[in-house]
């Protein structure tokens, strides 16, 4: 163990070095002072350990580095926003929006007014013709299953007369394809001729009687009903004239 004078000299040297480091802003190490004091007091100095970097020196450096990184990360979005704003401003300055075009002026209305079309005479509505046809059959007590049933058989009778202009055969055709008997079929056929196909209408009662002379085994009483058929035809004519007269 060293003598006291040597230890005191070392202590004075370390104190001077400590003052020097303190003046330069550094924290001096106290390990050597502790070892000399222990030796001065007669204790055996401990084995030196690997001295870690002092916290007073490392911590400020770490704090500065963390602040620097955080500042860079914070400034990065702001710089990107500034760059985008500059690009948008440059694009807007270079490519200004096109000026709004004035709306196209409407062509001036022509002073000449078009002449109104002359009114045309329209035939009576079909539903009125059907109504007059059905009302005439009801007056003669002809069964009416339905409106469509009566009108469809009336048009079928006209289609038959377009191929074969024979009133008796047309009556026979209507009777075979309907629920009506011979007399009722004759009324239906006569009413269909007046309502839908007046071009097949006999001009005189003599023509009607001559057409009924054809032998009809299924219509034995057709000749006796000709007077009634003529009355039905006249009634339908009157109904149609009344309808067309009010148009």
pLDDT in tens, 77-92: 555 555 556 565 565 5
Q: What is the mean pLDDT of residues 41-63?
A: 50
9-48 burial, b for 16+ CB within 10 Å, e for fewer?
ebbeebeeebeeeeeeeeebeeebeebbeebbeeeeeeee
Higher pLDDT, 101 or 124: 101
| CB 113, CB 148: distance < 8 Å | no
pLDDT tens for 8-24 read 777 777 777 677 666 66
C-alpha 247/C-alpha 242 separation (Å) is 9
Radius of gyration of the chain (CA): 63
Higher pLDDT, 201 or 167: 167
Q: Taking 80 as the threshold, does the pLDDT of residue 185 lie above it? A: yes
Q: Taking 70 as the threshold, does the pLDDT of residue 190 lie above it? A: yes
Q: Taking 70 as the threshold, does the pLDDT of residue 179 lie above it? A: yes
**166 pLDDT tier (thresholds 50, 70, 90):** confident
Q: What is the mean pLDDT of the chain?
A: 66
Higher pLDDT, 144 or 203: 144
Going by C-alpha positions, the residue among 193, 194, 176, 195 that lies closest to residue 185 is 176
pLDDT at residue 220 in the model:
41
């Amino acid at each position: 163990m060293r003598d006291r004078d040597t230890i005191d000299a070392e202590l004075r040297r370390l104190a001077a070095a400590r003052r020097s480091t303190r003046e330069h802003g550094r924290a001096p190490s106290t390990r050597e002072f502790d070892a000399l004091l222990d030796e001065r007091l007669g204790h055996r100095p401990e084995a030196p350990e690997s001295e870690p970097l002092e916290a007073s020196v490392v911590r400020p450096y770490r704090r500065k580095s963390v602040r620097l990184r955080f500042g860079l990360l914070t400034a990065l979005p702001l710089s990107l926003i500034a760059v985008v704003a500059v690009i948008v401003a440059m694009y807007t300055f270079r490519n200004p929006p096109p000026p709004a075009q004035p709306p196209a002026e409407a062509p001036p209305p022509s002073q000449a007014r078009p002449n109104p079309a002359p009114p045309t005479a329209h035939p009576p509505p079909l539903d009125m013709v059907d109504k007059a046809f059905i009302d005439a059959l009801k007056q003669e007590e002809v069964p009416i299953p339905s409106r469509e049933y009566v009108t469809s058989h009336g048009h079928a009778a006209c289609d038959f007369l377009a191929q074969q202009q024979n009133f008796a055969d047309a009556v026979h055709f209507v009777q075979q394809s309907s629920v009506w008997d011979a007399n009722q079929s004759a009324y239906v056929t006569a009413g269909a001729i007046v309502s839908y196909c007046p071009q097949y209408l006999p001009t005189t009662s003599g023509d009607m009687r001559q057409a009924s002379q054809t032998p009809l085994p299924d219509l034995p009483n057709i000749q006796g009903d000709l007077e009634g058929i003529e009355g039905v035809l006249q009634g339908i004519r009157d109904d149609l004239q009344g309808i067309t007269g009010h148009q």
